Amino acid sequence: MKTTLLLIAALLGGPQENVPSHPPKPAPRIYVSREFGLMMTVPPGLSYCALPKKWSGTEEGTVLFLEPPSACLDMQSGSSTVRPIAGFVPSITVHYRANRERYDNFDGAIPKAPSSKELARQFCPEPLHDSELKLFGQPAFGCRSDQSGNKVKIVLFALYGPEHNILTVSLLTTQERLDAGMQMLGKISSSINACDPEKKQTDISACTRGSTW
């Protein structure tokens, strides 16, 4: 039986074999989504994986790598927040979407989130409220989960803008690199702001020059 499994593995190859790849790039200092009215100032020293040239998925955010991965894998996905890499390095994912009712296979219809706290409760039984981690100038609601392979995931939640869009900022790292990751998470989350791409709202800053990547 063992021999058969080994033979199958040899024939199929590893999951990353023969996948085209390209090197990561230094992350630009500015990220701006005019579609979702969001802008972010990116700390220096981070990297990202560019989307494939013929990518045609949905704009939902980006992924910042705290250490450059050895390779970015050219694999198509439906979301801009899926950036496959070879191996593992700590990362921070900035994900946004419209705030609307959604359906879950286990919980059924989940209503539109009325507040950042209620949004966090949809994903965390007891959301944390950390005064040191801020989103849009307010202490962020979030949750922590310990994952396999000695990994840790921290997710922050917020509603923002006139449409009350949903924003999540998540850190995926290891126990050993958690402190450094939390520091970078704080820098990134505090640099994110709502913006007005059409310059029609007096209480929201106009979007600066920049783009999604």
pLDDT tens-place values along the chain, 213 residues long: 433 333 333 333 344 557 889 999 999 999 999 999 999 999 999 999 999 888 889 999 999 999 999 999 998 889 999 999 999 999 999 999 999 887 777 777 888 999 999 999 999 888 988 788 999 999 999 999 999 999 999 999 999 999 999 999 999 999 999 999 999 999 999 999 999 988 777 788 899 999 999
Buried b or exposed e, range 20-54, using 16+ CB within 10 angstroms: ebeebeebeeebbbeebbbbbebeeebbbbebbee
Q: Are 144 and 153 in contact (CB under 8 A)?
A: yes
- Taking the model in full, what pTM does it have? 0.87
Q: Structural domains in the chain? A: 19-194 (2.60.120.1690)
